[in-house]
Structure 1
Amino acid sequence: MSAERPSLPPVRLHSEAELARDALAAPLLARAVRLARWAGPDTRVGAGGELVEAQLPAAAAHLGLADDEDGAAYASEAWRLAVDTGLVDVEDPEDAAVSGSGDDPAGEAGGTVTAGDNLALLTGGSPQDVLGIWLDGLEAVHADATAPAFDDFADLVNEDGSVDFDALDWDPEAEAEFLDGVLGNLYLLTLSENGPGNGPVPLPALAASVVVPDDMDEPTDEVLEEVSEAMMRLDDQFRVLEPMGIVEYRPVDETLLAGEGEDGGDGPEPDDEDMTRYGMVRLTPLGLYGIRERMLEAGVDAPAVGDLADKGADALLDGIAYYPEDAARAEVVLWLAGREDEGITAAAAELLAAARGSDQGGPLRRLHCQEALASAGPEAEPAVRAVLDDPELGGLARVWLVERGATDVPAPPEAMVFWLAVDTIAAQLDADGDIEELQELVEGLSGRHSGFFDEVWRVDHPATAEVLEAMGRLHRDRGTAKAARKAAYKARSRQKD
């Protein structure tokens, strides 16, 4: 097979300009930008570049959070992001450990704050520049989401103020792997044909997707307990991720966390409103982009519609081989739009040339070539007529011309008719289409020609025997299915000879 199935469905991303606007509107990045513009030579930072405690009220007030009980925490979080993304530069912060305490009200803490180069890029740079900064921020927030809670350190602080990390039961790689697995499943659910699409995913279902084994029909009590623990873990993590614009999240109802408000006994099943109390999460368009970028960096095959627009016709036909129909059509439209300068006739000729081949992927390439030509319009006709006598392409060329209303299409030779029938079924078998539709195709093609199985086994197509065996399995008429199996045996014998 010339084409490999992508591990994930293709994603349809918003334009970089739209994504950049979303990135700038993400609450956490917007706050970080405001603090970066507010900061100056008098801004005091500690040894790690963090704002000193005495500086936090002013920072919170600048963000309009002076009356918020968590305002100082939000300001501290936004400042850390500004440092992590290069919106501010903190020079020699280690001097703070020598010159003064991090909460010294006299301002003795070391470190000089200046505007970072990335601050200007957010307003004067390209959308790619903005997205690059946002991705750096996402990396930092992802690390925060997988870090242990501050309360976990309470009993691990040494006399000198340092933290005994060896005594902390925390595996950063395992935590990151867990969250990446959850985000990957959320990405897949969002793109799946049977998934929620743009709708939210219940947190229990998402937690179960990474906890419950695929082969487990009924979760045990122990597994359900693990799902519950994973939900609480994810609730904390999504609260951290949401301000970066990657998800829209409705947290778990606090009364459930406190053990209140739950239905007891054998009452009615919870309705949709009850389910939302257990947490609902939805990937934003920016989130789809961000998770895909992280997966690509990790070496995951995560295609996007538009990836093939500047590739050759061979890469296009192989690339869309297993795309959903709407994604394949969108990819073809983009590919054709990129060839308007050279002309649609030349593009159609390139598609037809790429569709040739006796390899296993050939039938599926020809199927997608025919579908691509349907989007090409009447300008493709000269290229299509040029292959009417081609043994591999003449059949699909005739089909295309007839579908466009041409009346001067020459009748195909009988050998071409049977070859096209085998090629069409082989393509559908490779595409793993709907069984009922495949049965209708098989029965329609075999019933259209009298003596079909007496002739088709002689067709010089590499998939003839395989197609006939499949027809024997799929045809619902027992007599016809038996004839197909006999024809398959003859085709196999002919191949050996």
Structure 2
Amino acid sequence: MRTWFEPEETEEYEATRNVLIRRCLTWADEHGRPADDLLLAAALDARHHSRDGRLAYWDEHQIRRYLLAWIPKYVVTPREIVEIAPEILRTFLHYLSAAGLRDPRGATPAEADDAITRALPDFRKALDDPSLLGLAKFWAQTALDHGNDLAGPGALRDFQLDLDAGRIRYDQELLGKLLEARFTRTEPDLEEERDFLQPPVELPAPADLAVAAARSTTVRRLGALAGWAGEVGRPLTRQGHLTLADARELSVLLGTGEEALQVRSSADLPQLSLLLAWAGRLGLVRTGRGRLLQVARAAPLLRDPPALWARAFEVLPGLGESITMSGRAAVLGRCFDDVLTDVLNALYGMDDLPVARLAETVWLACQEHVVMDGAPERLKDLWRRRSALDLECALEVLAALGAVELTRGPADELCSSDLGHDDQALPPDAVERLRRRLAEPGLLLARLTPLALRSVRERLLAQGRDAPLIGELADCPAAELLGVLSQHYPPREAAVELNSWLSHPGQDVETLLRAIRDCPFRTRAAAMLAVLAEVLPQGRALVRDLRHDPVLAPTALTFLVDAGEVDPAALDRREHLLLGAENFLTLLELGGPRVLVEQLRSMAGDDAYELAAAILDSGHHDVAGLAELRELVAEPLRGRLLRLIPGTGTGARPARRKRRL
């Protein structure tokens, strides 16, 4: 059971959503909790249509986004149902935890309960705020208020006829406001664009990061600059610049190497100008009465190198005018903030990325931000070259801060492996240019330092993105650990994380196997077992031993057959039945009842019910899955068989409960 899907995996997501809703409704009924299929679907949709798309990851931000924005905008259901949406969300989150599906990096059930409770007053206000409605919900709710849920055949046509005839009244003033807000509202769309996946990263201990921050050239220079300015201050010219004499003195003190440059003004010393602008942004210095002064309130920040480093890194994107060669007039200077953020994201988790590769994507981004229509190709080529040089300047600034490590060497083959793909975003001329550059031996290469990795990761997390950290799963429940590893960790990183988990007392392989035995979903159990098989040194041998396990035998057999280690013809009758049951239950999860019915009919024809009955008698341990197979597949097949015999009943399947309140 996956809990993450690409946006285009519509059918796969909907199949999983249906399974989760069915299982959650059953669990809620067994535990006396409120549940509703429409609101459960809405909660899953809210997470699927988000930056990270993790269905089982919920924190306070996601809880509030769902309750205070998603429901008011999209969910159409009677008021008495929608009012208990917070309690239904509690049910769903507790179900995720009970089923071993919860993403352990999110809120615990207790933390989620507290977050929902805190959101209740605002939730009630949001329900009563008509401005939060979406246009689609406005019309659907209007139809529902007039006894039409728009679900039946011709319902939409009838509703339109009633509207045209004036038989349905609606709030025209509110509709006008919603139409206006659709084109003027500035807040982000709730259906967020999916962000690129980020690889898991490792970080040193906090003490090591603190030492690295204190060693940063830029941090030392910023501290020295503020101390040099002092409380008395340094005089400024009428134009607001340092005198040349003071600038040269400061250059020597800071080690920028600009003291011997022949310039007319201290403003023409690029490194010094950048440091002064940087210190100003950080609030370390200020100007007053014609002097440059140290800010007294900045003393705590100056005494805390890690905090100073983090703040310096945070404000850096706003210093594009001081970094690029032509300042604001430079093409990159006009979009430096956005582009630098993208560059840092591109470097995140990567090893020695060629700067030439970054330069092409930066130039592509510049063309999206700056209007170049009508400019001659020769001028565009000049701008492109200057943007590449400005990018190198920015990387050198980052290197001095200790955020980027710059080296020289050949490009990894992976950096050019996708250049011929159809989905390559670069235009043909850029691809050819990049092919030539990547073949050169002494390329400039860049990678983020651990300090930058930590800061970029914190920003990604604040944006609601998934940014795995090696070691963060070291003490989480076994089922949740394997669930995350199977979906979000490449093999090497999964091995490191799993070994870290196993190094803790009481956390062993048997605990992991127990979690797989307890897993109520065939697809998820298979993925969890595959993690052990591929990551543990003894993994394959472990799976072979499980062939005779009373619970895990079907899952192990499926793995071994798929891996070519077991010949299906060598299985005995019992193993054949277990293997068949595992495969059919898996198909029920992945495709739904209709797909499984079609598969059974294609395999057995008129004997499809007998095949389904054999699966039900296979001895497979998945009680929940077999119950669904009996209700959703076997009984409809049996009913069809009965209808073929004259004089029998309809064989109709019982109506399924939609909600429990």
Same fold (TM over 0.5): yes
**Counterpart code for 1:237:** A
Work out whether 1:201 is the aligned partner of 2:353: yes
| Residue equivalent to 2:556 | 420
**In 2 relative to 1, CA 402–315 (structure 1 residues): closer, same or farther, beyond 3 Å?**
closer
Equivalent positions of 1:199-238 (< 5 A) are 200-209=352-361, 230-238=387-395
CA RMSD of aligned residues (A): 4.9
The alpha carbon displacement at 1:441 in A equals 0.7
Deviations 1:248-306 (A, max 9, x none): 3469xxxxxxxxxxxxxxxxx968784536x4333333333333233223332111111
Q: Which amino acid aligns with 1:364?
A: A
180 and 120 in structure 1: CA distance in 2 versus 1, 3 angstrom threshold: closer
CA contact (8 A) 1:83 1:89 kept: yes
Superposition pairs for residues 308-323 of structure 1, below 5 Å?
308-322=473-487, 323=489
2:299 paired residue among 116, 120, 126:
116
Q: Which amino acid aligns with 2:556?
A: L
User: Given the alignment, which residue of 459, 469, 483 partners 1:294?
Assistant: 459
Write out per-residue CA displacement over residues 396-415 of structure 1, whole angstroms, 9 at most, x where no aligned residue.
9x964987xxxxx99556x9
Q: Which amino acid aligns with 2:515?
A: A
TM-score, normalization: structure 2?
Answer: 0.45
Structure 1 equivalent of residue 491 of structure 2: 325
CA distance in 2, matches of 1:33, 1:171: 29
- Within the candidate set 213, 216, 220, 1:23 is matched to 213
Matches within 5 A, 1:92-491: 93=287, 95-96=288-289, 100=290, 109=291, 111=293, 113-114=295-296, 116-122=299-305, 130=306, 132-145=307-320, 149=324, 151=326, 174-187=335-348, 190=350, 197=351, 200-209=352-361, 230-249=387-406, 274=440, 276=442, 279-322=444-487, 323-337=489-503, 339-340=504-505, 343-344=506-507, 348-349=510-511, 352-353=514-515, 356-359=518-521, 360-368=523-531, 400=542, 412=549, 417-422=553-558, 424=559, 441-442=563-564, 444-446=566-568, 448-449=570-571, 455=577, 458-459=580-581, 463-465=585-587, 486=603
Q: Tell whether the 8 Å contact from 1:44 to 1:111 is kept in structure 2 after alignment.
A: yes
Does the CA-based 8 Å contact 2:544-2:556 persist in structure 1? no
Which digits, 9 at most, give the CA deviation of each residue in 1:127-157, with x for residues without a partner? xxx1x3212101222221366847456xxxx
Q: Describe the SS at the equivalent of 2:566.
A: helix
Q: SS at 1:459's partner residue?
A: helix
Instruction: Give unmatched runs, 5+ long, in structure 1.
Output: 101-108, 123-129, 154-167, 191-196, 214-220, 252-268, 378-395, 404-408, 426-438, 470-484
The change in CA–CA distance for 1:151 and 1:363 in structure 2 (over 3 A counts) is closer
- 139 and 464 in structure 1: CA distance in 2 versus 1, 3 angstrom threshold: closer
**Aligned pair 1:78/2:241, yes or no?**
no
What residue is the counterpart of 2:249 in the other structure? Answer: 58
SS at match of 2:447: strand
In the TM superposition, residue 444 of structure 1 has moved relative to its aligned partner by 3.3
Deviations 1:433-488 (A, max 9, x none): xxxxxx9614635254267996456425664448999xxxxxxxxxxxxxxx9489
Measure, in 2, the Cα distance between the counterparts of 1:52 and 1:362.
68
Task: Give the Cα–Cα distance (whole angstroms) in 2 for the partners of residues 491 and 211 of structure 1.
Answer: 62
2:420 matched to which residue of 1?
A: none
Q: Which residue of 2 aligns with 1:125?
A: none
Give unpaired runs (5+ residues) of structure 2: 6-51, 53-196, 366-375, 409-434, 592-601, 613-628, 635-661
Q: Cα distance, 1:325 vs. partner? A: 1.7
Q: Please give the alpha-carbon distance, in whole angstroms, between the structure 2 residues aligned to 1:352 and 1:81.
A: 55
Is the contact between residue 84 and residue 136 of structure 1 (CA under 8 Å) also seen in structure 2? no
Distance 1:358 1:36, change over 3 A: same
* 248 and 353 in structure 1: CA distance in 2 versus 1, 3 angstrom threshold: closer
Is 204-213 or 52-61 further displaced after alignment? 204-213
Rounded to whole Å, the distance in 1 between the matches of 2:330 and 2:395 is 21
CA distance in 2, matches of 1:146, 1:10: 33
Q: Which residue in the other structure is 2:4 paired with?
A: 4
Judging changes above 3 Å, is the alpha-carbon distance between structure 1 residues 248 and 145 closer, same or farther for their aligned structure 2 residues?
farther
Does the 8 Å CA contact 2:604/2:611 hold for their aligned counterparts?
A: no
Whether the 8 Å contact between 2:491 and 2:534 is mirrored in structure 1 is: no
Q: Measure the CA separation in 2 of the matches of 1:176 and 1:67.
A: 27
**Paired AA for residue 303 in structure 2:** A
Give the Cα–Cα distance (whole angstroms) in 1 for the partners of residues 450 and 345 of structure 2. Answer: 15
Distance 2:324 2:572 in 1: 74
1:370–1:400 Cα contact (<8 Å) kept: yes
Cα distance in 1 for residues equivalent to 2:219 and 2:447? 20
Cα gap change, 1:366 to 1:491, in 2 (>3 Å): farther
Whichever residue aligns with residue 368 of structure 1, its letter is V
Deviations 1:98-145 (A, max 9, x none): xx4xxxxxxxx37564461112223xxxxxxx1x32121012222213
* In structure 2, C-alpha distance between the alignment counterparts of 1:447 and 1:231, rounded to whole Å: 62
Gap change, CA 1:304 and 1:490, over 3 Å in 2: farther
TM-score under structure 1 normalisation? 0.58
% of aligned pairs identical? 22
1:41 aligns with 2:203: no
Match of 2:419 in 1: none
